[in-house]
A and B are shown apart, each in its own frame.
Chain A
Amino acid sequence: MKKITIQRISDLATQLMAKGTLVAPVNEGSGFNFREIFDAKQVDLNFYNTLMSPKSAFFPHTEDFVRYDKNKSVLDAQCVELNLKPVFLFGVRPCDAKSFEIMDIHFSGTGAVDPYWKKRRETTTIFGYAFDPKTPADGADFYSTLGIGAADPEGSDILMMKKGDDLLLKAVTPKGENLLSSLNALTDASADEEKYFDDTVATGKSFKTRFTCVDDKVIAKKLEDLFHKTEFWEKISEACLSCGACTFVCPTCYCFDICDETLFSKGVRRRVWDACMFTDFTLEASGHNPRTKVYQRLRQKICHKYSFHIRKYGVISCVGCGRCTRNCPVNIDIFSIVDQALKE
């Protein structure tokens, strides 16, 4: 196990930048976001959680596949190859680290492998960053309900944790181990610190955010039974504006659209995030739209995350980070909806 004083964190950042691309939280005024770091001083770990989820490190909002020129032959079209330097994704909260494993199911786990996702996953080393179980949660998140601890190492290659003025770093995977031993900005941690680290991981397990007793199978079944109870869905969606804020900030929403975008003769075929909350998401070429109403779209979102996903893949497609709740313009809270569904 290693450590560094938080004041000297830019030394660590500088070393990582020399080895590859560093993506870390940056204070942007309106909130923190993961950005590629060009100045080591920008790295700032004084945040609760970032505004946008770190999913964009592997699944960017826009991903170019093919570039072409309309005046040239189809054969001249160029596939976009990813040439990545090693990437260090720094400061990922445990619940977000967990989200990558859920996203893996869709991008590399069910037969079809997405080469862009896979390549990004392979080249990236994840520095997890534990929540402090001694300070209360911010009120919107509910990861403990989903069985995720405040300091869980799962999903990270290296787990980091604050202890006073120090930052403790412990390798979780061999990839993390190799990297840690090559960073000479770090010093060895003492046995006391090692004990503190393990204790915090353990206390993190029993840390309670908003909590409801939820059994995956029970909630999946409940929502399935409620699916045709239109009154319920109409009631809970009455406030919903049907914007895409919740899905875009979500770490486990993975829907996308493939579209061609051209400027004069130059064109690019690209993947762009899409959202089930948009009316045109399900619009078919015939003009038919199976989900024209707000309640149908919100129902799809909730049931996909908490019911269909469990039935198909065995896990809830939500990590309880609370971003959807925090960013909803009308304060719709997915946790409360699930809670209400359980009480129906």
Chain B
Amino acid sequence: MTINFKQIEDKLKAEAKRLLDEGKVSIVLAYGKGYDEKHPMPYVARKTSDVENIIFNEFCTANMARYLVRYPRGTKIAIAVKPADSRAVVQLIQEDKVKRDDLVVLGIPVYGMKNFKTGKTIDSKTTCGLYNPVLYDILLGEEVHGQPVISPYGILADYERIGKDERWAFWKKELDKCIRCYACRKACPMCYCDPCFIDQNKPKWGEKSPESHGNLMYHLTRFHHLAGRCIDCGECSRACPVDIPLYLFHKKVAKECEEMFGQAAGMKIEDKPALVNFRVDDSDKILE
């Protein structure tokens, strides 16, 4: 089975039009034209006439859940979500940043998306590798079945094999490349703190200059703030202009979290975030 992007686009347009016409939502978060076909942009439709500008193709990688927290609480929003994005919506509902009742989730079952910067296919190496959204009200297309199920943690095998010192050296080298543009945190649907700890100066948590100290402070803290919350959409790594493989660390933390607490972030709406929920039988491995 191959993904029919045109069909998804048509359904997305039709549903967006219907929801806006019926007054069910006041905005639709979807994708629109960029400066060329291979570079689509996040798009917000507010009127029926906006709907014709909506598109969907294999380069529509942005996680629209990132924009949810921008609108005042109570705004009725329809949001187009790919499998990983739907986990972000679930996680945001769990964290009470958005209300389930305010959302109409337009699920897109899809795989074979492509990175618009490199043209490479995006798979479970850099994302969670799901084929179907975990939450939706309306499914745009048919659920994908019969594709090989690949663990999102498979890529970690090589990474886990290397020793502690080597791993430290690896991250120091990678994080030294950071230019502190903060595209990673801005592209991340879970990074909604205002202000972010790194922007505070009373107290000052980390240096502003792009050197080892500040870079480590920023990234290691961000990695840990996302423990049990990262839904593995891979947007941070794709947003990064200097190609730091941020997904590796997030996947590693997500894996440990899943092993310890038995749940992955944003999979079930009735779960509580792993690090918020206390259970007597929780693993104490973290203390060892």
Task: Spot the interface stretch: A5-13, A167-175, A330-338.
Answer: A330-338
B241 contact set on A, CB distance < 8 A = 51, 245, 248-249, 327
Flag whether B278 is at the interface (Cβ < 8 A): no
Instruction: State which residues 185-236 of B face A: CB under 8 Å.
Output: 185-187, 194-195, 199, 207-211, 213-214, 235
B235 contact set on A, CB distance < 8 A = 329
Flag whether A177 is at the interface (Cβ < 8 A): no
Flag whether A257 is at the interface (Cβ < 8 A): yes
Q: Are B243 and A329 in contact (CB under 8 A)?
A: no
Flag whether B19 is at the interface (Cβ < 8 A): no
The residue from A51, A261, A279 contacting B199, defined by CB atoms under 8 A apart: A279
Flag whether B69 is at the interface (Cβ < 8 A): no
Flag whether B239 is at the interface (Cβ < 8 A): yes
Interface size class of B (residues with CB under 8 A): 35 or more
Measured CB to CB, the closest approach of chain A to B47, in angstroms, equals 12
Task: Spot the interface stretch: B31-39, B78-86, B89-97, B280-288.
Answer: B31-39
Instruction: State which residues 24-67 of B face A: CB under 8 Å.
Output: 34-36, 39-44, 62, 66-67
Flag whether A325 is at the interface (Cβ < 8 A): yes
Flag whether B260 is at the interface (Cβ < 8 A): no
Measured CB to CB, the closest approach of chain A to B114, in angstroms, equals 13
Q: Are A239 and B42 in contact (CB under 8 A)?
A: yes
B261 contact set on A, CB distance < 8 A = none
The residue from A241, A280, A326 contacting B183, defined by CB atoms under 8 A apart: A241
Interface size class of A (residues with CB under 8 A): 35 or more
Q: Are B66 and A263 in contact (CB under 8 A)?
A: no
Q: If A61-B209, A249-B241 touch, does A329 touch B186 (CB 8 Å cutoff)?
A: yes
Q: Are B239 and A62 in contact (CB under 8 A)?
A: no
A139 to B36, CA, bound (A): 9
Q: Are A336 and B239 in contact (CB under 8 A)?
A: no
Instruction: State which residues 258-282 of B face A: CB under 8 Å.
Output: none
A330 to B117, CA, bound (A): 10
A272 to B242, CA, bound (A): 18
The residue from A51, A62, A331, A335 contacting B116, defined by CB atoms under 8 A apart: A331
| Given A241-B187, A336-B34; 19 other pairs, CB 8 A cutoff | A31-B243, A51-B242, A52-B179, A61-B179, A61-B210, A62-B209, A243-B186, A244-B183, A248-B179, A261-B208, A261-B214, A270-B209, A272-B208, A272-B210, A279-B199, A329-B62, A329-B235, A331-B41, A333-B34
* A contact set with B: CB distance below 8 Å: 29-31, 51-52, 61-62, 139-140, 238-239, 241-245, 247-249, 257, 259, 261, 263, 270, 272, 275, 278-280, 325-327, 329-333, 335-336
* B contact set with A: CB distance below 8 Å: 34-36, 39-44, 62, 66-67, 116-117, 179-183, 185-187, 194-195, 199, 207-211, 213-214, 235, 238-239, 241-243
